[in-house]
Amino acid sequence: MDASKTLIFLYLCAMTLDKNPPRDKGNYDAGNITALEGLEAVRKRPGMYIGSTDSKGLHHLVWEVIDNSIDEHLAGYCSHIDLIIHKDNSITVRDNGRGIPTGMHEKLQKSALEVVMTVLHAGGKFDKDTYKVSGGLHGVGVSCVNALSIHLRAEIRREGRLFEQEYSKGIPSYDVRDIGTSDDTGTQITFTPDPEIFESTEYKFETLSTRMREQAYLNSGLHLSLTDERQIEKGEPRIERFFSEGGLAEFVQYLDQGKSKLIEKPIHVTGKEDNVEVEVAMQYNTSFQETIYSYVNNINTREGGTHVNGFRRAINRLFKTYGDDAGLFKKLKFAIAGEDFREGLTAVVSVKVPEPQFKGQTKGELGNSEVTGIVSRVVSDILKHWLEENPTEAKRIIDKVILAATARHAARKAREMVQRKNVLTGSGLPGKLSDCSSKDPEASEIYLVEGDSAGGTAKQGRDRMFQAILPLRGKILNVEKAMEHKIYENEEIKNIFTALGVSITENDYGERVLNIEKLRYHKVVIMCDADVDGSHIVTLILTFFFRYMRELVQNGYIYIAQPPLYLVKKGKQFRYCWNEEERVAAIAAYSEGKGGENSVKIQRYKGLGEMNAEQLWETTMDPDTRIFQQVTIDDALEADRVFSMLMGDEVPPRRAFIEANAKYAKVDI
Ligand code: 0RA
């Protein structure tokens, strides 16, 4: 449901309120019927409203509630939002906004609060003068959260009074009641997700804290806190507070921590045109990557959109003009591509748009075409002045742009060599690949397996009809530290490219494009040992996919296999266990009978190599029993951020490479 509409609707209701007239219990009017039907629809098809019923959907409930509080902040009435994870994984969100109106609406015969909490699609006039988080990407409204909770309690402080109402699966347990006085205002909602709806009801501290931190940067001046009552230390629950005065400039510093900076402090842009607010912060570091986070009405737009296009356009044009005017590009024999201007750029682009249109597969892309020009103009105005006032830093950026262009040409040569060679060697498939017989990409899977020996076991254990095996030798190249041309020369990475059937070419603007039309498998499974080394290798491979084959992650083609951690045995009986809980349960079950605890044997699987082919098939490869983790762009993004923070501290070897490798450089410059 479009919650912003609900809020406006309520606002209108609130202005024509009757002061708490008695409720006619027997009156089953249109309002009631709509409410019940709506709640039923949500419970029947929760995925349609909150995306999924896995951990992601579970966390979505929290975003829905918090978004409403953030709207209240954007409207100028709320300075504090507190989030609490209780021991039983129920959640409290508390804000000090105006409080949801509680008065009765005559026609609907229910309080405004009850309407917010129970009615889907409550219509109304869209208020174009305010930006709404909840009208954007999430925007199904708090009534969905209510419908999917076995219990929800709303506590409202307003007009000097304290009100409450409780619900079960969205159905009110009683009418709103006045239970006392209050000397402040605000809304507090506590809900318990329904375990019959959700696959897991366990909240992750890190997932919640990441988003709270992000919201603190996006809303400078807003105080947020996250308390976890499940984690007690010295009698106190774990609590983290988030507050930012510097806003996006601090966000960029946070994203770039550990990286060597090219300019003193982030460039911070703010402006407004035609009711569209623009805020951008940017910094250049010595890495090779472009990292742009973008937001519309405080919601992350993962697929970018017109605001990001406007930003890129401004960067490309301004630096191009600046470099041309200063004669800095004179010696270059080839054109500079747009992406050369953005190598090592970290930026956050945030816009507030009254009526955002979202496009794309996951509705994560801003579509409003007018925004491109607006962002481009606002950024250009400020960047122009910055360039004039900071010539030394500007020169440093241009130098990096020239290096980026030169390295891109060297990489192209290396890539073309590799891709040409593949064409020459018959099938073009790597010798180490044990391919499957199926030629249907949708039905085919490829396992990237750590180590030759585990690769051998996987080859014996697989179903060769649809499962291909590609063993990787030890650790693959660290793409964070390596120059791009090295990537294409690396044996393991070459094998991944050719086995998958994807290639990289350049478009007319010299920008790299990944061609995945010939992708040979729609499931690409990373299979590593369940230990520290194994998870390091998973991170390496994920970083590689994120940097060089992002579309595969975006399309949901990348998976991580989950081998079991233990085998618990008693006589001929055995059970595989994937976590501590299962291990304890298995031991308990087997200890009951004859022989007791002593007859139970526990084997800890340290590596894939400890399993035989049959065991590996049963536990990790058989589609009927295996557990796969599908990699989302969020996982990859986080892997990438953590990774570059850990690895990115060194001055990259780029300049040394260019100087030492004057062969290419001479040809090209
Ligand atoms: C409708 C109207 C008004 C505020 C709200 C809803 C409101 C909703 C939520 C949800 C979480 N926190 C919230 N805070 C406020 C405005 C009522 C007025 O004019 O006083």
Centroid of ligand 1 to alpha carbon of 584 (angstroms): 47
Instruction: Locate the DSSP E strands across 62-185.
Output: 80-85, 91-95, 104-105, 110-111, 149-158, 161-168, 171-172, 177-181
User: Quick check: 596 and 571 in contact, CB under 8 A?
Assistant: no
Residue 207, SS3 per DSSP: helix
Q: Which helix (H) or strand (E) holds 603?
A: strand 601-604
Q: What is the pLDDT of residue 470?
A: 96
Centroid of ligand 1 to alpha carbon of 3 (angstroms): 11
Among 4, 7, 69, say which to mutate for ligand 1: greatest number of ligand atoms within 8 Å of CB.
Answer: 7
Residue nearest to atom 16 of ligand 1 (CA): 11
Q: What is the pLDDT of residue 57?
A: 93
CA distances from 284 to 133, 257, 261, 263, 396 (A): 30, 12, 6, 6, 10
Among 2, 5, 11, say which to mutate for ligand 1: greatest number of ligand atoms within 8 Å of CB.
Answer: 11
CA distances from 111 to 96, 119, 160, 266, 353 (A): 20, 11, 17, 48, 31
Q: What is the pLDDT of residue 132?
A: 56
Q: What is the pLDDT of residue 4?
A: 42
Residue nearest to atom 2 of ligand 1 (CA): 11
Residue 50 tokens read as: 């909150």
Q: What is the pLDDT of residue 350?
A: 97
Q: What is the pLDDT of residue 649?
A: 40
| Alpha-carbon gap, residue 208 to 229, rounded angstroms | 14
- Residue 443's CB is within 10 A of a number of other CB atoms, namely 13
User: What are residue 575's DSSP bridge partners?
Assistant: 568
| Alpha-carbon gap, residue 568 to 582, rounded angstroms | 10
| Alpha-carbon gap, residue 486 to 490, rounded angstroms | 6
Residue 196: alpha-carbon gap to chain centroid: 26
Residue nearest to atom 7 of ligand 1 (CA): 100
* Amino acid at the residue 214: E
Q: What is the pLDDT of residue 480?
A: 67
Q: Which residues does a 6 A CB cutoff place in the pocket of ligand 1? A: 7, 10-11, 14, 68-69, 72, 95, 97-101, 187
User: Quick check: 280 and 248 in contact, CB under 8 A?
Assistant: yes
Helical residues (DSSP H) of 501-549, grouped into ranges: 532-548
Among 73, 153, 187, say which to mutate for ligand 1: greatest number of ligand atoms within 8 Å of CB.
Answer: 187
Among 61, 66, 72, say which to mutate for ligand 1: greatest number of ligand atoms within 8 Å of CB.
Answer: 72
Q: What is the pLDDT of residue 419?
A: 67
Residue 624: alpha-carbon gap to chain centroid: 28
Q: What is the pLDDT of residue 537?
A: 85
Which atom of ligand 1 approaches the CA of 101 most closely?
Answer: 17
Residue nearest to atom 20 of ligand 1 (CA): 98
Residue 513: alpha-carbon gap to chain centroid: 22
Residue ranges and CATH numbers for the domains of the chain are: 44-213 (3.30.565.10), 248-405 (3.30.230.10)
Give the list of residues 6+ apart from residue 342 with CB closer than 8 angstroms, or none: 290, 312, 315, 316
Q: Which helix (H) or strand (E) holds 365?
A: strand 365-366
Centroid of ligand 1 to alpha carbon of 156 (angstroms): 10
Residue nearest to atom 5 of ligand 1 (CA): 100
User: What are residue 472's DSSP bridge partners?
Assistant: 450
Closest CA to 450 of 505, 406, 492: 492
Residue nearest to atom 4 of ligand 1 (CA): 100
Centroid of ligand 1 to alpha carbon of 237 (angstroms): 30
Residue 593: alpha-carbon gap to chain centroid: 47
Residue nearest to atom 12 of ligand 1 (CA): 69
Low-confidence residues of the chain: pLDDT under 50:
1-30, 122-129, 134-138, 424-426, 648-669
Centroid of ligand 1 to alpha carbon of 377 (angstroms): 35
User: Quick check: 487 and 493 in contact, CB under 8 A?
Assistant: yes
Write out pLDDT tens, residues 112-149: 999 899 987 543 223 334 555 544 444 568 999 999 99
Q: What is the pLDDT of residue 420?
A: 66
* Amino acid at the residue 217: Y
Which atom of ligand 1 approaches the CA of 112 most closely?
Answer: 1
Centroid of ligand 1 to alpha carbon of 251 (angstroms): 29
Residue nearest to atom 1 of ligand 1 (CA): 7
- Residue 539's CB is within 10 A of a number of other CB atoms, namely 17
Centroid of ligand 1 to alpha carbon of 7 (angstroms): 7
Q: What is the pLDDT of residue 595?
A: 80
| Alpha-carbon gap, residue 324 to 304, rounded angstroms | 29
Residue 247 tokens read as: 């806003």
Centroid of ligand 1 to alpha carbon of 76 (angstroms): 11
Write out pLDDT tens, residues 660-669: 332 322 222 1
Q: Which positions are catalytic?
A: 450, 529, 531, 533
